[in-house]
Structure 1
Amino acid sequence: MIKSLVFDFGDVFLTLDKSATQKNLQKFGITEFTKDMLVKNQAYEMGLISTQDIIEYYTTHFPQISQLDFIHAWNSILIDFPPHKLDFIKTLAQEKSFQLILLSNTNHLHIEWVKENIEIYNEFKNCFDAFYLSHEIELRKPSEAIFKYVLTNHDLKPEETLFIDDTLEHIKAASQLGIKTWHLQAGKEDVVDLFKIKRDLLF
């Protein structure tokens, strides 16, 4: 029986347009993310470099893009937060049937945008027993270490833990540790249907 629910944030609760950042950067001649860019992006997502570092990296390599243009492009992936998903997690929090944990690969610029533009963010965050953002804990999915970090911190048994994420690579990593999973198909499935889709696993 499942005792703890571990949720991803983007495209599980927060609606994303995952192609938007690259589309917007293309306007400034950044046609693809090179290996070096991906390394920098991941370092930023793990909080290993600062916001100013990532901005200076891009504006130095591509002087045609201003700081403001970069920030706009970087945050364009973030769309909105459907209110019915807040109602869902609030109900779960009130029922107290499960321990609720959020585990998200999120960088500082993105979470600052969320705080400024998603009015229900604090109410959402307060629904969780633990709220882990990659740039704050210096770990990111799909590393084994981040899942072990959550399991250890909360003394969780993998077989009693359900992890919900829209990224298959993350799901596979969690599954290898014995964690139960739901690979949510963003745009086709809704997290609020958890008890319809995974009922047999939950109870």
Structure 2
Amino acid sequence: MIKNIIFDFGDIFINLDKQGTYKAMAALGVTDITPEMISVYHKYEKGLITTEDFINFYYDKFKINKTDLVAAWNAVLLDFPKKRLDFLKELAASKKYRLFLLSNTNDLHIKSVINTVGETFFNEFKNCFEQFYLSHEIHFRKPDTEIYEFVLKENNLIADETLFVDDLKENTDSANTLGIKTWNLTPKKDDVTELFLKNNLN
């Protein structure tokens, strides 16, 4: 029986253009994604380097205007449909499940989201969760199993009583290895508001 639900953020609640940043960076002249760039990105996502260090890495390497760089970095972020917030608020109000957010989200992205949707909307969203875990704040990132172990241990959750909702199969596969139930939601085909329909929950 599912007692706990852990939700991802991107392409679960907020829509993403997963190629948005690549396209915007290419327009700025950066077309090759090197292993060094991926390493720096992962460190930033885990909060191991500051936003200033992250921006300076690209500025020093490519001499990109810093404002343009931030805009390109945030190009992945699209809209947050209100129907998903309404659904979540109803779910939280029912108190049938313990709700958690677990997202690979960096400092620049979360600030951009708050700026776009507004603090009131964002706080209504955040307040639906018992815990709100962002990778840059807890220094873990998906799909590393240690991030799921952290959430289970911190909140005394039993894996097979927990459902994890994420759009990336590598993330749900990783959670599955610990016995966590999963829903690998497919963006544009599935919607988080179909949670009960797609997962035999009541």
With structure 1 as the length reference, what TM-score do the two structures score? Answer: 0.97
1:40 matched residue in structure 2: 40
1:6 matched residue in structure 2: 6
CA–CA distance in structure 1, aligned partners of residues 28 and 15 of structure 2: 25
Residue pairs, 1:1-80, within 5 angstroms: 1-63=1-63, 65-80=64-79
2:144 matched residue in structure 1: 143
Measure how far apart 1:108 and its partner are.
Answer: 0.1
1:106 matched residue in structure 2: 105
Q: Which amino acid aligns with 1:43?
A: K
CA–CA distance in structure 1, aligned partners of residues 24 and 155 of structure 2: 40
CA–CA distance in structure 2, aligned partners of residues 137 and 32 of structure 1: 30
Q: Which amino acid aligns with 1:135?
A: H
- Gaps of at least 5 residues in structure 2 are none
CA–CA distance in structure 1, aligned partners of residues 71 and 142 of structure 2: 25
2:187 matched residue in structure 1: 186
1:88 matched residue in structure 2: 87
CA–CA distance in structure 2, aligned partners of residues 71 and 180 of structure 1: 36
Is the partner of 1:149 in helix, strand or coil?
helix
Measure how far apart 1:27 and its partner are.
Answer: 1.4
CA–CA distance in structure 1, aligned partners of residues 166 and 31 of structure 2: 28
Instruction: Report if aligned partners of 1:22, 1:32 keep a CA contact under 8 Å in 2.
Output: no
RMSD: 0.7
Instruction: Report if aligned partners of 1:13, 1:82 keep a CA contact under 8 Å in 2.
Output: yes
CA–CA distance in structure 1, aligned partners of residues 187 and 112 of structure 2: 21
Is the partner of 2:21 in helix, strand or coil?
helix
Measure how far apart 1:131 and its partner are.
Answer: 0.4
CA–CA distance in structure 1, aligned partners of residues 150 and 53 of structure 2: 27
CA–CA distance in structure 2, aligned partners of residues 152 and 197 of structure 1: 27
Percent identity at matched positions?
49
CA–CA distance in structure 1, aligned partners of residues 184 and 145 of structure 2: 17
Instruction: Report if aligned partners of 1:47, 1:107 keep a CA contact under 8 Å in 2.
Output: yes
**Structure 1 segments of 4 or more deviating over 6 A?**
none
1:164 matched residue in structure 2: 165
CA–CA distance in structure 1, aligned partners of residues 82 and 29 of structure 2: 37
CA–CA distance in structure 2, aligned partners of residues 171 and 2 of structure 1: 16
1:114-144 CA-to-partner distances (Å, cap 9, x unmatched) read 1111121111000101100000000000111
Q: Which amino acid aligns with 1:16?
A: L
CA–CA distance in structure 1, aligned partners of residues 27 and 93 of structure 2: 46
CA–CA distance in structure 2, aligned partners of residues 50 and 157 of structure 1: 34
